[in-house]
Chain A
Amino acid sequence: MKFGVIIFPGSNCDHDCYYAVKEVLGKPVEFIWHQDTALKGFDAVILPGGFSYGDYLRTGALAKFSPVMREVKGFADKGGLVIGICNGFQILTESGMLPGALMRNVTRKYICKYLQLSTETTNSPFTNQLQKGQLLNIPIGHGDGNYFADGETLKRLNGEDQVVFRYHGENPNGSLESIAGILNAGRNVLGMMPHPDRSSEQILGSTDGKQIFESMVNALAGAGR
């Protein structure tokens, strides 16, 4: 079982993700440079948070042209696990790997704080260790987390059980139906604005994020990885 963490120019949570996998989960992990053109031997790929390409044009819009993204798409098409956190989620929507878009927070402010998420589905390789409705204490840190999708897409996301997390209580950014994280149709690609990498150790205030990574480990182990 091997995890990979992609480094885009401007990623700044790459080391947080690497640390969470290596030190907290105790699983093998390697960095992947954004110009790499092969993803060999990886079982799960993490697109970390940050400000890839300085958020120029639109958040995540230029990272989709990094050579490694073609590989990530191919990897996901073959069923590989991909999780995009914060800027990683923005990159996945801009790349067309997840539906919808992440717009400027409705408050027009960057928001960095702990809040509660409710677990909307356990039918995914990212939430199999959670209970439906379970509340998770996981922080956000973003200026563009206001999820938007057209009515038809939203209907499909709800109908196909692709909404994984919603903000519980306060909706911090104006996100449609308080959506905080969604799956692709194949259920092997997750995008979420909150940071499980910043909530995997008690010293950071919560270990709830760790359960998402542990679900991935569980899914991979079940598949013989």
Chain B
Amino acid sequence: MKAIVIVTLKPTVLDPQGITIQRSVQSMGLSEVVDVRQGKTFDVVLADGVPTDKGKEVVQKLAKEVLTNPVIEEFRIEWEQK
């Protein structure tokens, strides 16, 4: 099983890096880009044979307690089908 954990800043939290990217690309002429939010992704591979329920529980715990700082960030998990 493989999961992709996507961590982003909460919408209420200012993202100086995203703002800088958005402003910078204006000079490329990409005036259509009005907002950029920077985040992180983590590819998480589980051992073969881990039951689906257990795997989901493990990745949820990893995302919530390690990969994300709940004060400023939120996450979502996407599962990659074999």
* C-alpha gap A79/B69 in the complex (Å): 26
Q: Which chain B residues numbered 1 to 43 have a C-beta less than 8 Å away from chain A?
A: 13-14, 16-17, 20
Complex interface: chain B residues within 8 A of A149 (CB): 71
| A64 (CB) vs chain B CBs: closest residue | B66
| B13 (CB) vs chain A CBs: closest residue | A148
Q: Does A57 contact B (CB under 8 A)?
A: yes
Q: Is there contact, CB below 8 Å, between A106 and B71?
A: no
* C-alpha gap A57/B69 in the complex (Å): 10
Q: Is there contact, CB below 8 Å, between A106 and B14?
A: yes
Question: A interface, by DSSP: helix, strand, loop or mixed?
Answer: loop
Interface size on A, residues (CB 8 A): 18
Complex interface: chain A residues within 8 A of B20 (CB): 108
Complex interface: chain A residues within 8 A of B16 (CB): 104-108, 174
Q: How far is the CB of A215 from chain B (nearest CB, A)?
A: 28
Q: Is there contact, CB below 8 Å, between A148 and B17?
A: no
* C-alpha gap A58/B42 in the complex (Å): 13
Q: Does B63 contact A (CB under 8 A)?
A: no
Q: Does B59 contact A (CB under 8 A)?
A: no
Complex interface: chain B residues within 8 A of A117 (CB): none
Q: Does A164 contact B (CB under 8 A)?
A: no
Q: Which chain A residues numbered 1 to 59 have a C-beta less than 8 Å away from chain B?
A: 57-58
Q: A93-B71, A108-B17 are in contact. List 5 more A-B contacts (CB 8 A).
A: A57-B66, A57-B67, A101-B69, A101-B71, A174-B16
